[in-house]
Amino acid sequence: MQLVRTHASGAEEWYCPTCGRRFLMHWPPAYKKIVLEPGDEFAAHIGGKGAAQFGSLAASSALESEEAGLFPGLAASDARTAPLAAEEIGPVPITDELRPWLKWMQSVGLAAPESAESAG
């Protein structure tokens, strides 16, 4: 987002050169935002004033990040061979603290009937 101008009212006019989004911003204590042009409402918009410079966000794979030196401790082989599912932790003892939760989960259909039976 780029700050276009500050109006006499104190409202700031912001603009996104990528998607055309435009809005007026009034800052606290009377915070108010008026959208003039919606642009891409699902895009992640960022911006700032002063010497700060902001850009757009970009997604990359762990392998690309490692190659760019962003995560020096992450080996490329780790990114490709990491397990995709959690391991089973085994049976969990049914304690008095868990019983009300298990009964509720069964009543709303989130737990198997045998879980509720063992909950007492």
CA nearest to 23, candidates 9, 10, 33, 8: 33
Q: How far apart are CA 101 and CA 107, in angstroms?
A: 10
What is the average pLDDT across 87-114?
84
Is 86 part of a structural domain of the chain?
Answer: no
pLDDT at 55: 53
Structure tokens at 90: 């085994």
Looking at 27-41, 48-62, 77-91, 104-118, which range is the least confident one?
48-62
Number of domains in the chain: 1
What is the average pLDDT across 33-48?
86
pLDDT at 111: 74
- Is it the case that residue 59 has pLDDT exceeding 50? yes
- Concatenating the DSSP letter of every residue in 8-74 gives TTSPEEEE-TTT--EEEEE-TTS-EEEEEE---TTS-----STT----------HHHHHHTTS-TTS
CA nearest to 36, candidates 4, 8, 13: 13
If you average pLDDT over every residue of the chain, what do you get?
Answer: 76
Is 90 part of a structural domain of the chain?
Answer: no
Is 31 part of a structural domain of the chain?
Answer: yes
pTM for this predicted structure = 0.42
Is 87 part of a structural domain of the chain?
Answer: no
What is the average pLDDT across 1-9?
90
Is 10 part of a structural domain of the chain?
Answer: yes
Domain extent for 44: 2-58
Is 40 part of a structural domain of the chain?
Answer: yes
Is 112 part of a structural domain of the chain?
Answer: no
* 116: confidence class by pLDDT, cuts 50, 70, 90: very low
